Amino acid sequence: MTQRHAIAIDTDNSPPRTARRLRWYVLLPLCCVGCLDSLPGKPTEADRYRRPDTIMDFATLYKQHCSGCHGADGTLGPAPPLNDSMFLTIISDAEIKQVLDHGRAGTPMPAMNQKQGGPLTDQQIEALIAGIREKWGAKSSATSESLPKYAVSVHANGQPVGDPIAGKQTFADSCASCHGEEGRGDHALNDRGFLGTISNQALRRIIITGRPDLGMPNYQEAGEESGAGKPLSSEDIDDLVALLSSWRSAETDESK
């Protein structure tokens, strides 16, 4: 600094001074352009329109395409919560992708892949799955081995494996206190409007994970609070799904 000052003094009135002035003539306009560039009206990359199929940000994708049914934060929506670490522990990426690609026939879950008429590309679906895992996935080390498996097992004819007769007893023990005798009452499950619009897969999943957001216990709590006093076994769950499924077909038969 001082050195430069010194130079300025001993070169007074000599050519470098004009050079310095010249520098200002160059710098000032550049400065102005710089200021203009920082004006609030200057469009930034964020203002640029992006085709919906180039959006990869999880929060945006989830908000636009899923929050309507699965809830703003993945809970308290009409559809099963995605923000549920037990659910995310038992379901595999491939299974999530299968749901997103094809939807669930006969339920409100729509196909989301462009190849199936939905709005999303393969990459966007991958981004969603990764985002769901990262944001809501299990933080603990709980592994899926210690939990009932996600997928519902079915016979060759599509009927779920499991014994509806045995299911009746399990239901009376573990579920009827809230859902009523034979599934009829205030929180009725034995109802065509309910069973006719939900898949067995979702039934199984809800029995396993419960709906913590709505006060529905998971398979451990429901079993432990029942007469049996222990978590529902994988078999119990099969039987319950078979029971609910049999109610569905009974209702359909009646209505014919």
# chain residues binding other proteins, by CB under 8 A = 45
In the complex with other proteins, the residue whose CB is nearer, 39 or 94, is: 39
Angstrom distance (rounded) from CA 46 to CA 166? 59
Helix, strand or coil, per DSSP, at residue 38: coil
* Residue 111 in contact with ligand HEC, rule: CB under 6 A: no
In the complex with ligand HEC, the residue whose CB is nearer, 39 or 175, is: 175
In the list other proteins, ligand HEC, none, the entry touching 180 (Cβ below 5 to 8 angstroms by class) is none
Helix intervals (H) in 79-216: 85-90, 93-102, 122-136, 164-174, 176-179, 192-195, 200-209
Other Cβ atoms closer than 10 A to 63: 12
Helix intervals (H) in the chain: 2-10, 15-37, 58-65, 67-70, 85-90, 93-102, 122-136, 164-174, 176-179, 192-195, 200-209, 219-225, 234-255
In the list other proteins, ligand HEC, none, the entry touching 72 (Cβ below 5 to 8 angstroms by class) is other proteins
In the complex with ligand HEC, the residue whose CB is nearer, 25 or 234, is: 234
In the list other proteins, ligand HEC, none, the entry touching 63 (Cβ below 5 to 8 angstroms by class) is other proteins
In the complex with ligand HEC, the residue whose CB is nearer, 29 or 222, is: 222
Angstrom distance (rounded) from CA 256 to CA 22? 94
How far the first Cα of the chain sits from its last, in Å, is: 96
State which of positions 187-226 bind ligand HEC (CB under 6 A): 187, 189, 198-199, 201-203, 205-207, 211, 214-217, 222
State which of positions 165-204 bind other proteins (CB under 8 A): 186-189, 191-198
* Residue 15 in contact with other proteins, rule: CB under 8 A: no
* Residue 90 in contact with ligand HEC, rule: CB under 6 A: no
* Residue 45 in contact with other proteins, rule: CB under 8 A: yes
Angstrom distance (rounded) from CA 100 to CA 94? 10
Contact positions vs other proteins (CB under 8 A)? 33, 36, 39-43, 45, 47-49, 51-52, 63-69, 71-72, 76-79, 107-110, 119, 186-189, 191-198, 214, 255
